[in-house]
Amino acid sequence: MVWNRVTAGGGLLGAAIVAGAIITYNWGATPRLDGSITSVRTLGMDASNSVAIVNFEAVNTSNREIAINFREIDVIDSSGALRRGRILSVFDVEQLFKYYPALGGMRDEPLTDNRYVAAGETVRGLVAARFEMAKHELDLRTDIVFRTIDRKNREVELRLQSEADTSERAR
């Protein structure tokens, strides 16, 4: 068989069509949440322990359901060290709001493990974590990250929405 331009061009065109069909079929197949932390409230429990209550909003931008299997909150303190918090149970979160009314109302429901987020669904929730650091140290943090991990160990990180992002969205 003699290779000529028509044969080579037809082969390349066929390969491009197959590759395009595969990409189109898998578009949106990777489950992910896009969003941000909307607010953070802190509470000092004693001289060396505090709690961060994180409210967030995220959208499942894929066409697949996501199962949130694990949650964690990390802060970067003023010295640049990473501090991981211990996630509080739903009961503990409810008790915090009951005994500390200065926190304000529970604006969102606590996010629990094994929560399923449907394709295109917007999820709002809150997560609280205890940190072994004083409240003033927690308030001086440079960053806070809320991380979810699904059943296939895919991580999603949500960060605090900066004031610059807020002013851009208001325009």
> Domain with 153 in it: what CATH number?
2.60.40.4110
pLDDT, average across residues 66-82: 90
Instruction: Judge if 17 and 99 occupy the same domain.
Output: no
Determine the pLDDT at residue 164: 38
Instruction: Judge if 66 and 133 occupy the same domain.
Output: yes
- pLDDT band at residue 167, thresholds of 50, 70 and 90? very low
Kindly report the backbone phi and psi dihedral angles of residue 43, in degrees, each rounded to the nearest multiple of 5, phi listed first: -145, 130
Determine the pLDDT at residue 168: 38
Determine the pLDDT at residue 51: 95
E-only strand ranges, 99-167:
115-117, 122-131, 143-150, 155-159
pTM of the model as a whole: 0.75
Instruction: Judge if 22 and 43 occupy the same domain.
Output: no
Number of domains in the chain: 2
Instruction: Judge if 97 and 128 occupy the same domain.
Output: yes
Percent of the chain with pLDDT over 90: 46
Query: 41-54 pLDDT, tens per residue?
Result: 999 999 999 999 99
Percent of the chain with pLDDT over 70: 85
Instruction: Judge if 22 and 86 occupy the same domain.
Output: no
Which of 117, 136, 98 has the alpha carbon at shortest distance from 57?
117
Instruction: Judge if 58 and 23 occupy the same domain.
Output: no
Instruction: Judge if 42 and 95 occupy the same domain.
Output: yes
Instruction: Judge if 22 and 51 occupy the same domain.
Output: no
- pLDDT band at residue 6, thresholds of 50, 70 and 90? low
Which of 92, 129, 89 has the alpha carbon at shortest distance from 112?
89
Q: Is the pLDDT of residue 103 over 90?
A: no
Instruction: Judge if 73 and 88 occupy the same domain.
Output: yes
Instruction: Judge if 9 and 56 occupy the same domain.
Output: no
Q: Is the pLDDT of residue 82 over 90?
A: yes
- pLDDT band at residue 163, thresholds of 50, 70 and 90? very low
Query: 113-155 pLDDT, tens per residue?
Result: 888 999 899 999 999 999 999 999 999 999 999 998 887 788 8
Instruction: Judge if 19 and 41 occupy the same domain.
Output: no
43, 51 Cβ separation under 8 angstroms: yes
Mean confidence (pLDDT) of the chain: 84
Report the C-alpha dihedral over residues 74, 137, 56, 70, rounded to 10 degrees.
Answer: 30
- pLDDT band at residue 16, thresholds of 50, 70 and 90? confident
Instruction: Judge if 14 and 54 occupy the same domain.
Output: no
Range of the domain at 5: 1-29
